[in-house]
Every structure is written in structure tokens, then in C-alpha cells.
Structure 1
Amino acid sequence: MGMPTNPVLAPSPHIHGLPDFPSISDDDFVPAFDIAMADHLREVEAIAADTRPPTFANTIEALEQTGRGLAQAAGVFFNLVGPDTNPVRNAIAQELAPRLTEHGNTIALHGALFARIDTLYRTRDSLGLDEPSLRLLERRFRDAVRAGAALDDDGQRQMREISARLSTLTTTFSQYVLDDSNASAVLVDDAAALDGLSASAISAAADAATEAGHDGKYLLPLDLPTSQSALASLTDPETRRRVFEASVNRCSRGNEFDTRAMVLEITALRARSARLLGYRNHAEFVIAEQTAPDADAVQSFLSELVAAAMRAGGRELTRLHGSGSDPIAPSDITHRLAVEQRENSAVSLDDFGDYCELDRVLTDGVFAAARQLYGLRMVERPELPTYHPDVRTWEVFDADGVSVGLFLGDFFARPSKRGGAWMNNIVDQSQLLVAHPIVVNVLNLTKPQPGSPCLLSFDQLTTLFHEFGHALHGLLSAVRYPSQSGTNVPRDFVEFPSQVNEMWALHPTVLSGYARHHETGAPIPSELAEAAREATSVESAHSTIEYLAAAVLDLEWHRITADDEITDVEAFEARALASAGVASDLIPPRYRSAYFNHIFGGGYSAGYYSYIWSEVLDAETEQWFLANGGLTRANGQRFADTTLSRGDSVDPIAAHAELIGRSAEIEPLLARKGLVAAVG
């Protein structure tokens, strides 16, 4: 009898290879990675040792077929660490981070393998490859060079040491942000201090306090960004101040979760790595592989937007302060914006959330729009296993009734889940591997009491549509090679499809489908629907400025060189923001450095600009949809054919130009953000 198969690596009995989560324990993960990494190295060694001359098939395509067990283990484990971690999983992640980095380096720096790739790269124009295959070959070569394959032995040794240390630091940073966000939740003694919050939010705060051992009190958990959603509703200035200060001081209080030393070490190591590879700084290294021309172009782009946004922001702050004598504090801005919106609206928007119940928005809004545009049909499969009781699973069928993948929704906040919202791939689509996509959307909505509805705010509604845009990018992928599947595109393009999907949240046809009162079932009044569209048609300058400040911080941290010596995180922040013209005592960055998980714990280093860079394409695409009839099957099919289905198998910018018939321009974005009048 053979050895039993590790449950993480065992063939799945479920449709499309959905992991059998109940059969997997935390004790299975490290042995699974041990097996999978060893198997992967044996597969790679066989390719490198092949005595035949290298060809695309026996080298590049063969590499795409290796490491399937490792991809399976990673798809399970790293999907769990973000939305449902625990001390054991955190420890495993710490152990695996340097090991997986070294594993990747062993392959990327394999001399014999790189020699085969290099031979193919140098003769690529004579190989007769189609565009996806040529892009794959070029990507393999560049990835190896960027890992250090072309360096001498000492350079490769340094790269290994740096990448191993970075993997540990970034993993720890992410864990500290979650831990300190939980530790910084604001405890409130009296419900009167929560005036302005909805009854369901107050109830959730009471439950959170009870769970934390504070019966009879209220606990306000923190959102990931600096701006806390509760501030818009809370009427008590002191409660707003406490929540704001808890948010903005995270991971910089000198406690065990202080990340400032890590920020300095991460940025210094990234600068050293960039210099070893021949780049002036980490930003140049990262942006060399993006759709943006270079780091200077990104800086110029941000500078243009900062100048316009700060002028608009000055007018906005003056207006918010009005003629009153009471000083305005950073914790007051979003509250005053919300008050102003209510005062200026002919129809009160306070009741809009009553028409945005989660299940109805999903079924009759998000999924209905996907069916109208792309012919997708979502069928819930409650019998399929999940990794947490709150997670739900849908099987996805195309217009011909063919099952194309699975979609998992993990919508509710819990202490084991890091903040924010995101999309994960458990399985990447691939024609070569005959693999169907399995994608997960993770949000942090407040879980309602049993029998009570989950009602969405404007921001939560937009986030739901946004993240499903990422899911569509994965589910509609139709590429041969797994490394080109779905969202495996340049970082400054990946947000584009998700931003496009936001446009349907308040579209009249979509809104009329889901916007029913959660108690009476009555459709949303037309005047309320129109008021909602008007209120969200232009962003506040505050929102734009806090985003741009974070993008500037990211870029400046990653434009330091290996010769720069930074010793004070706060002082660097202040200089960077002032130099860029985006410093404001009243509008701090969306993320301060100490809890900027996107860039120090995630994959957005020198790439946080990508949200607004992608939004140029998004604004143009919104205009294209509207000019061609909007929510139609023909438009959806064209968007899927040119963009969503193609992943990184084609040049993304060329694909967008193919869609709209020309290169994108910035004017639609400026108009959307209310910055047209502020330019010049």
C-alpha cells in the first residue's frame, strides 16, 4: 500500500478542483509545501538537463506545466491567511516566506535553465511564435534577469539574501497591521456617544465588545484606510476624534506591533536590490514592467493631478468651514462632507441603504449585470465545502450553459480577517492545464444579527461591484498559459476591469433591478435613485487628495537610492508630502507608512499609483460603453473579447486601444473627479 496523499495535494472530489477544505488541517500545510517544492524542483531539473536543443515546447511551455502541486498548495494556504488566519497559520506563513523565496530563486537563478531560456530569447524573432507565446518567452527571460540570473556569483548571493529577508519582513508587516488594527479598536462606554450610527452598526459594536470581554460596552473596529467610514455618521466630535487618532497612529505607538523599523529596512533592501540589477531605485525597477513609460512619467502624472486636486481641496475646505468659528479637525472632514451632501440634496440620502440589501444586490444587481453583459449565470452551490461558515459558493455558467468556474463570496468582517477588500485566485484558468478558474471575493461588511438584513452603504455597494470586476477578469479568462491568466497583468492595468464594473452599481437598469426596500419590497423612488447618482457623480477633493498623498508616499519611499540613509519615518513622510505639494494637516494620506499594507505587506510597492493610472482607461471605457448603448450583450462581448478574456496574452494598452478605437486620454478622468476647472 502506498503512502497516503497529503490532503492539501490530494485530487479534489469536487467540481473544478475546489479544495476539500474540511479534510485539510493546519498541520498538513508545511508537509504539503515540502512535497510540492521538491516535486517542482525535480520537474525543473529535468527540463534544464534535457540534452536536446532548447525549443519553446520543451523549455518555456514545459515550465508552464511544472509546479502544479505547489500552485495547488499555495492556492489553498494563501487564500486562508488573508481572510481567516490564526496564530498557527501566521507562524506557517513566517516559515514559508523565506523558503518559497529561496525556492523561486533556485529556479530563476538555475544556470543551465537560464542558458536554455537565453538561447530562445536571443533567437525569438526566428521561432515563428504567436503573440501569447512570444510574450511568455520574453516574460520568462525578463523574470530570470530581474531575479539576478545575469549577475555574477556574488551578486546572486546578495540577491538571495535580500529577497529572503524581504519575504520575512513583508509577511510580518502584514500580520502586525492586522494585529494592531484589532488592538486599536475603540471601546465606547455609552451608546449616546455612537449617535448617528445605524441601529445595526450599534448592535454590531455591542456584539464586538461582548466578544472581547467588555459586556455592556461598544467596540468600534477599524477599517484599513486612515479615513474611517464611521466618521461620516458619528455626531459626537470626541468619538470621531478617538476613532481617527486610533486609526492614524496604528503601528507607530512604540508597542510590539510598531512597524517603523520594518519600513526603513524594507525600503533600504529594495533600493539595494534595484542597484544590483542596474536600476537607480526600486520604483524604476518596478515600473519597467508596467504600462507606464517610467517612474518620471508617473511622478509627472501625479504632480499634474496633485496641483488640480489641492486647488479644489482648498475651495472645499473653505466651503466646509463656512462662516463658523469652530475649528475644523481632520476627524471632522468626512462628517461635514456628509452633512453638506444631505443639506444640498433635494432628497435625503439617509434611507438609500434601506434599498441595498446584500443578497438582493448580489443576485439582482451584480450577477444580473454580469448576465446582461457577458451571458453569465450564477447558481449557488451551498453543498460545496468552504473554509469558513460565512463563505458562499456559486457555480458560473456561460451563455451556452457550460460551467466555466466557481465564485466564492466571503463578505463579513471578523477578527481573523485582514482589513480591506480583495480578490484571490484559488485556481487560475488555463487551456494548457485544462483548469477552470476558482476565484474569491473578500469584503469586510459588518455581519448583521440573525434574521436582520445586511444593508450596504454607497462605498460598500461600489466595493462589491469593484471586486466582482476582478472576479470577472478571472472567470472570463480564456488563455492557454496559466501565468497569463486573468489578473496576471501589469499592476497598473489590473485595477482597470474592476473599476469599469463599478459603473453599473447605479446604472438605471441595474439599480431598478436590486433597489427594493428590505422590509416592504417597494422599488426605490425615482427621485432617490437620481439623487444617489448625482451625489456620486463627482468625487470629493478630500477623497482624491488622500489617495494622491498615499500614491506620492509610495513613489517617494521607492525612489530612494542605496546611498540614502533614512532614519525617521515620520520626518520622511512630512518631507515627501511637502515636496510633492500634497501636505495637509487636515487631510492625511489614505495610508500612512506604518500601516500601508499595500506597499509593505502586499504587491503594490511603487505601484499604488496604478489605481488612478488605470482610472484613465476606466473613464474612457465608461464613455465608450455609454456612447455605444451601455448595458448590452454586444458591448459586454466586445469588452470580454478585447480585455477580460485575454489576460496578459496580449499587450494590455494595445487591447484597450482596440476596444475604444484610439489611445486613451486624461480628460474624461479629470471631468469625473471634478478637476477640469482646477487644471491650469
Structure 2
Amino acid sequence: MSANPFFETWDTPFGAPPFATIAPEHFVPAFERAIADHRSEVDAIKGDPSAPTFDNVVGALERAGRALSRVGGVFWNLAGADTNDALQGIERDMSPVLARHWQAIGLDPELFARVEAVQAGRDAGGLTPEQRRVLQLTYDGFVRGGAKLGDADRARLGEIAERLAELGTRFGQNVLHDEKAFTLVLDGEDDLAGLPPALRDAAAQAAAERGLPGRHVVTLGRSLIEPFLRFSARRDLRETAFRAFATRGEHQGEHDNRPVVAEMARLRAERAALLGFPTYAHLKLDDTMAKTPEAVRGLLDRVWDSARAKAAKDAEKLAEVVREEGGDFALAPHDWRHYAEKVRRRDYDLDESEIKSYLALDNIAEAAFDTATKLFGITFTPRPDVPVYHPDVKAFEVRDRDGAAVALFFADYFARPSKRSGAWMSGFRGQNNMDGVRQRPIVVNVMNFAKGGDGEPTLLSMDDARTLFHEFGHALHGMLSDVTYPSIAGTGVSRDFVEFPSQLYEHWMTRPEVLKRFALHHDTGEPMPDALFERLTAARNFSQGFATVEYCASAIVDMAFHTLTPEEARAGVDPAAIEAATLDAIGMPAAIVMRHRTPHFSHVFAGDGYSAGYYSYLWSEMLDADGFGAFEENGVFDPATAEKLRADVLAAGNTRPPEEAYMAFRGRMPSVETLLERRGLN
């Protein structure tokens, strides 16, 4: 075909994708050519008649597949942030094709023989520490992927990988279907009872975007449904909205994710057995900081007991308010946020609406930039000339203190029907310094904030503001990466270490040095009053029992699915029964629901990223609770401490094991007690 942008050089600022000229029909031909090119590159590596060396095997593998990375970088970002029917069809078709391609490379015996030969001679190869690390990770990846298995087992692994790719794609698209399909239309003042002006504006904007001008709509985006559950005086409407939110992916028919989960759990257990591991969790944790399922459950159980006790005390306070208001019902999941807000007002004189009036999106985004400037000397300059994939997206040029180019950053903050729920950091292009050429990354932050009404600013909750800082912490990890080889760049680190930089960055959001400058009233421009800041600080750990219970329950259920033995999985997997039995065993409070119930647990089932790994947020919180102590001890913007963080963690990628990286930064390993203290659970 003619004029396919992926077959041309991109003459755009920073080499950014020319989104306006890229159409869905370009992707399949581009993928097909890129896959063929990559296969040819790999064939040349394994067929090289010269003796295997780091450069002609491992280095060559690092160079290979650049065309495929370019196509995939655009496609997968659009599939998550601005999809449509055509892109979803391509995603369904290409996922198994790509899985088959990568599996064939990972299981190629001739290629592995050359990698193995380089590994065997590593001590005589004069390799740099970074090269030794890349070699070890490459070798381990082949072995963990099945390269040492016999022909029949390798073939079965390929079949499993292909099918899991299909199922993961289906899972994610089913969740998006249910999220797009639900709207709660609010008719008249009775339906709007209790909703503050900013939330009414956001609901009106959501209605207008869905062709309902003059109406108000609640969607299943967290930035809209959570404040609705908090403020709505209509218990019946709260129940309707919450039920839709909690049962995404759990409806009979073609979009039911329960059979998808059952098959995925069985295939993952089979894959682990083929590779010599007792369960899939053992396989996934083998190269993490936690190492074993037992270590993960030890952390989760230690935190769970404290969190459940705290939640029980909080529930008594909420029930007290219900009784005071004349309510004659037991606290239900759709009640918790509503009555927690009332208790927070009563006990801390805090009103979410008052807080949000000081948290305008533009100011909080600027605060994230300014914090990075103070810590690392980098600057952010708007670049309206850079092409973007949606009008809501903004581009920023990132430069270092010496003026050198660091990265290109895209900010995509608003919810829309074409975007999957949640918040994440991703990249259109990764960083590397191979062959003397510095490739600067193109990084994107994607959120789902409810847009303010016409002419009104978008106001954030404290949770929203922390989410923005969290994802920007990931972005810094990607942007400040400074390694030679692409496979170890940026966030390409152990799953239970990757959340450390992002969760650490959240701490600056609530520092007075930041809030005093950027928490400005959206009407008057006045800074947040000292009295309000003090009340916020006093209430810092309010409802931590609830938050920790809903999170830990999800992490424990994740582990339950992935510690199934192959025999248990073959006997039949009933996702609803496993979820219910697991929650019953740990004493899940009736008034709290998992943060991510199984049929919409996209972290775990829409791909393999966080399978047996959702615990990693808590593991990383152990690190960040202790790690921020370095700044508290030396100054929250101390240059020397910031430079250690940049050099030992952010710039270093996966050049060393995570334990060594953390020790280099902090000089010690953390303990769970620090985490419990931070959350007010000890």
C-alpha cells in the first residue's frame, strides 16, 4: 500500500509519531513488515558464522526489532487511550500473532545456543558491569521462557502464550465494553441531591460528551463515580451506580469475563508446571524482590490484620452516623464512602468540596513539574507544534539543567469513552544510548479525570492529585533513564520495585512547600489556608483501614488464583467461588468490596503485567515510606539526596538488582513497621 507513515521517516519535532496521518488501516501492514524484518534480524544473529560474542548476539538482539517497537509504541498506546472499533479488531487479531512471534524467538534453540555460549564465556569477555547485567537477564529470560525444554513442551508453551494473549485482549475489551455501556442519567434536582457544584459540572460535561446536553450523567470512571458515591443523598442511586461499578465484566453473555479468568488461570498454572515451578506465582516471583509467594503472603497478612481492625473501628463510627440520621439499615458497600465523608466532616471539619476548590488540575500538574525542577533541575516547556493523538493531549519538551534534551512528555488527563479506565504511564519510544547515539524517550501519562464544565476548571480530589503525582513519578523513571541498552531502560525493572519511584513521588504532593504555592482557590487565587492544611494533615490517615482492606483483599485474591497447582486448575476453576472462599477465609468485612473484583481486575488479567504481582504496590510502599525518610532527614529538596535518587534509581534502570539499587540510595533495607506507621495502622 502507498503512503503508510510507518514506512517513512518521521520529520516531526522530536521524531514524534505523525498521528494525523496514521489511520487504522496502516497498522496491520506495518506490523507484518516489522515482524518480518525482526525475524530476519534474528535469523542473521543465529546464523552468524563467527564465534558468539556479547556484541554479535546480545548487543545485536538489543538492536533488533526497532521497527516493531515503533509500530507497537503507537498502536498499544492508542489501543488504551483512544481506541475505536477498528483498533479493537486489530488488537484482537494481532495479539496472538505477536505472542507467536515473540514466543518463537524465545524458544529458538539455535539462538539460545549462541546466548548460552556468551553466558558460558562471560568471565573472559571483558564485559562492563552493565553488559554483564544485560547478558544475565537475557540468559535468564530465555531459560525462564522455556528455552531448555524439549520440542513438545516448547510447542505447548507457544500455544499457551498465543491463547493467553487472545484472552488478555478479550478481558480488557470486555471491561471497556461494560464501562462504556453504563450511564446513570440524573433527572432533576431530586437525583442531584447532595452533589456539590463541581461534581454537578463534571456530570453535566459527561452528559454533553454523550449527546445529552442539559442533563447530568454518572459514568464508571473513578473520578466521577467515587465522588458521586461520596456525596449523593440518594441511597438508591448510590446502590445502582455501585452495583454497576462492582460487576463490570460479570454479566452473562459474550462480554462475561468469568470464563476468561477460568481459562487464563488454568493455562498459567500449566505454563508454570512446564517450566518446573509448583505454581504460576512461584514462576512470576522468582526474579522479584519478594522471591516467593510465602514472602508476599507474609507481608499481606501482617498488614491485613491491622487494616481490618482499623476498618472495624471506622465502621462503628459510620454506623453511628447512620443511626443519628434515623437510618435503620446495616452499612453496605454503597454507603461507606458517603458516611465516611460525613464522619470526616464531623471529626476533622473537612469537606471534600472545600478541598477540591484548591486543587485545580492545571495547578497540580504545574506542581508536579515544579517539584521535578527543584529536585533534578529539569524543565518543562509546552510544545503545541508537536503532533498529538487527541485534542486533550498536551506535549512538553523536557530539558536538563545544562539545556540538553531529556525527553518529550505527553499529558493526557481527561476521561473519555475511547479510553480504558485507570491511570498509567507508558511510552511511545524508549531510551537507550547504543552505538554512540542517544535516543531520548517519549513518555505519556494517562489519567481519567472528570472534566470540568464549560468555562470551569477541572478540580481534583486529594486522591486524584496523588494519582497525578504517582504517574508522574513513573514518567520521571522513564524520562531520566540513562542506560546503554533498551531492555534495561527506565521502568524495565522488577515489578515490585517499579512502583517505588512513583509512590515516593506522591509524598511531595502533600508537603506544605508544594501546597502553599500550588493549592490555590480556583476563584480567588488565594492559597490554601493554614487551618485547612492542618486539618488535612490531622486527617492524613483517615479511612486508611478501608483503603488498605480493599487493596489487600485484591492482592490476596490475585495470589489465590496464581497459587493454584496444575492439578487444582485442571479440576476446574470457578472464579466466583475462589474469590468468595478467599475473602471468607480472611474475614472480609461485609461493607467493603475488593478494589478490583476478579471480573474487572485488569491489572492481573488484561495481560500479564501484574499477575501474581498486585502486592507490589504494598511492597514498594515499604520502600517509599522508608525512602522518603532520606529527604525528611536532609531536606525535602536536598540536592545531594535528589542526585542519589536520580543516579541510583531513576537513571539506572535495571543495571543492578533492585535490592542493590535501593541500598545504594538509602544505605539500608526497609521494614514493614515503617509502612504500618505511615498508614496509621500500628
TM-score, normalised via structure 2 length: 0.95
Aligned residue in 1 for 2:599: 594
Q: Deviations over 1:551-607 (max 9, x none)?
A: 00101001112211234321111111222x142221111111111111000411110
Query: Equivalent residue of 1:82, what SS?
Result: helix
CA distance in 2, matches of 1:403, 1:641: 17
CA distance in 1, matches of 2:498, 2:140: 20
CA distance in 2, matches of 1:25, 1:518: 39
Extract unaligned runs of 5+ from structure 1.
Answer: none
Find the partner of 2:196 among 195, 198, 201: 198
CA distance in 1, matches of 2:238, 2:444: 33
Percent identical residues: 39
Aligned residue in 1 for 2:516: 512
Aligned residue in 2 for 1:672: 678
Summarize the alignment of residues 402-551 of structure 1 with structure 2, pairs less than 5 Å apart. 402-432=404-434, 434-537=438-541, 540-551=544-555
What RMSD over aligned residues (CA atoms) do the two structures have, in Å?
A: 1.8
Aligned residue in 1 for 2:618: 612
CA distance in 2, matches of 1:201, 1:587: 24
**Counterpart amino acid of residue 634 in structure 1:** A
User: Which stretch has the larger CA shift, 55-64 or 428-437?
Assistant: 428-437
Extract unaligned runs of 5+ from structure 2.
Answer: none
**Counterpart amino acid of residue 576 in structure 1:** T
Q: Does 1:239 align with 2:237?
A: yes
Would you say the 8 A contact 2:223–2:449 is kept in 1? no
Find the partner of 2:62 among 64, 67, 87: 64
CA distance in 2, matches of 1:632, 1:185: 48
Would you say the 8 A contact 1:226–1:592 is kept in 2? no
Shift of 1:127: 2.7
Would you say the 8 A contact 1:225–1:590 is kept in 2? no
Query: Equivalent residue of 1:379, what SS?
Result: strand
* Inter-CA distance 347–611: structure 2 relative to 1 (3 Å threshold): closer
- Count of aligned pairs between the two proteins: 672
**Counterpart amino acid of residue 669 in structure 1:** L
Would you say the 8 A contact 1:347–1:527 is kept in 2? no
Shift of 1:226: 13
Shift of 1:123: 2.8
CA distance in 1, matches of 2:633, 2:315: 35
Shift of 1:420: 0.5
Shift of 1:296: 1.2
CA distance in 2, matches of 1:213, 1:643: 47
Would you say the 8 A contact 2:174–2:249 is kept in 1? yes
Query: Equivalent residue of 2:82, what SS?
Result: coil
Q: Does 1:339 align with 2:342?
A: yes
Aligned residue in 2 for 1:98: 96
**Counterpart amino acid of residue 550 in structure 1:** S
Aligned residue in 2 for 1:128: 126
Query: Equivalent residue of 1:634, what SS?
Result: helix
**Counterpart amino acid of residue 396 in structure 1:** V
Shift of 1:322: 2.2
Aligned residue in 2 for 1:113: 111
Would you say the 8 A contact 1:226–1:588 is kept in 2? no
CA distance in 2, matches of 1:349, 1:525: 15
Query: Equivalent residue of 2:468, what SS?
Result: helix
* Inter-CA distance 313–566: structure 2 relative to 1 (3 Å threshold): farther
CA distance in 2, matches of 1:169, 1:514: 44
Find the partner of 2:392 among 364, 368, 390: 390
* Inter-CA distance 355–520: structure 2 relative to 1 (3 Å threshold): same
**Counterpart amino acid of residue 412 in structure 1:** F
Shift of 1:654: 1.0
User: Which stretch has the larger CA shift, 53-62 or 354-363?
Assistant: 354-363
CA distance in 2, matches of 1:508, 1:612: 25
Shift of 1:198: 2.9
Aligned residue in 2 for 1:6: 4
CA distance in 2, matches of 1:69, 1:411: 29
CA distance in 2, matches of 1:539, 1:475: 34
Q: Does 1:649 align with 2:649?
A: no
Aligned residue in 1 for 2:637: 631
CA distance in 2, matches of 1:191, 1:171: 41
CA distance in 1, matches of 2:541, 2:12: 44
CA distance in 2, matches of 1:659, 1:144: 30
Aligned residue in 1 for 2:318: 320
Shift of 1:517: 1.4
Find the partner of 1:360 among 360, 363, 366: 363
**Counterpart amino acid of residue 41 in structure 2:** E
Shift of 1:352: 1.7
Summarize the alignment of residues 11-50 of structure 1 with structure 2, pairs less than 5 Å apart. 11-50=9-48
Would you say the 8 A contact 2:341–2:351 is kept in 1? no
Would you say the 8 A contact 1:373–1:634 is kept in 2? no
**Counterpart amino acid of residue 50 in structure 1:** D
Shift of 1:452: 1.3
User: Which stretch has the larger CA shift, 654-663 or 531-540?
Assistant: 531-540
Q: Deviations over 1:51-80 (max 9, x none)?
A: 111011111011100111000001111110
Find the partner of 1:372 among 347, 350, 374: 374
Query: Equivalent residue of 2:240, what SS?
Result: helix
Q: Does 1:555 align with 2:564?
A: no
Q: Deviations over 1:445-479 (max 9, x none)?
A: 11223321111111111011010000000111011
Aligned residue in 1 for 2:297: 299
Aligned residue in 1 for 2:83: 85
User: Which stretch has the larger CA shift, 569-578 or 460-469?
Assistant: 569-578
**Counterpart amino acid of residue 594 in structure 2:** P
CA distance in 2, matches of 1:176, 1:219: 22
CA distance in 2, matches of 1:226, 1:551: 24
Q: Deviations over 1:422-448 (max 9, x none)?
A: 001111110115210110000001122
Shift of 1:349: 5.2
TM-score, normalised via structure 1 length: 0.96
Shift of 1:129: 2.3
Shift of 1:135: 1.5
* Inter-CA distance 355–607: structure 2 relative to 1 (3 Å threshold): same
CA distance in 1, matches of 2:350, 2:308: 30
**Counterpart amino acid of residue 165 in structure 2:** S
Q: Does 1:572 align with 2:578?
A: yes
Query: Equivalent residue of 1:451, what SS?
Result: coil
CA distance in 2, matches of 1:639, 1:169: 39
CA distance in 2, matches of 1:24, 1:401: 32
Would you say the 8 A contact 1:349–1:528 is kept in 2? no
CA distance in 2, matches of 1:561, 1:226: 40
Shift of 1:215: 6.0
Would you say the 8 A contact 1:9–1:73 is kept in 2? no
CA distance in 2, matches of 1:537, 1:376: 32
CA distance in 1, matches of 2:225, 2:217: 17
User: Which stretch has the larger CA shift, 105-114 or 311-320?
Assistant: 311-320
Q: Deviations over 1:308-341 (max 9, x none)?
A: 2112222221222128254211111111111111
Q: Does 1:351 align with 2:354?
A: yes
Q: Deviations over 1:208-238 (max 9, x none)?
A: 3455455664321013699834211222211
Aligned residue in 1 for 2:147: 149
**Counterpart amino acid of residue 395 in structure 1:** E
Q: Deviations over 1:492-525 (max 9, x none)?
A: 1111100000001111111111111112111221
Specify which structure has the higher proportion of helix.
2
